[in-house]
Amino acid sequence: MKNLLIKIRNFFFVIIVLLLLGGLFYRLYQDYQRRQYLKQEISKLLAREKQLEEEISNLEKIKSESNLKEKLEKQARLMLGLKKEGEEVVLVIPPKGTIPETSITSTTTENALETKSFFEALRDLWYNILKIFKAN
């Protein structure tokens, strides 16, 4: 009977050890799966980071081009007299042979020079157009 109790105790001990080992291996397998999942997530996040960095650089490029386009639009409005649809623009052209005594003031010398050259170019353009119409 004592021998039987020892066999039963050993059997339960083996069962408990096997259950503990099974639980340990199951936990290791879960950790392995989680590690693989996290590796995939890291690679996805790194790819997303690269994509976002490219998008940021593209947006910065567009922003700089937008500033350039705004400057070009301003110059086209000034030099060529272009306007947006529905917008009304009034230009005052001095009569031939007179030079305006007042000038447009600007905060920077560069803008003042651009404004002066614009008015000179616009005056010349206006008088050339008048000459064409008078010739006809």
Q: Hey, where are the domains in the chain? A: 1-68, 80-136
Res 114: pLDDT: 46
Comparing 128 with 37, the larger pLDDT belongs to: 37
Q: What is the pTM of this model?
A: 0.41
Measuring CA to CA, which residue among 89, 93, 82, 83 is closest to residue 125? 93
Contacts of 118-123 spanning 24+ positions with Cβ under 8 A: 118/78, 118/79, 121/79, 122/79, 122/81, 122/91, 122/93, 123/93, 123/94
pLDDT tens for 41-82 read 999 999 999 999 998 898 888 777 777 777 777 777 776 767
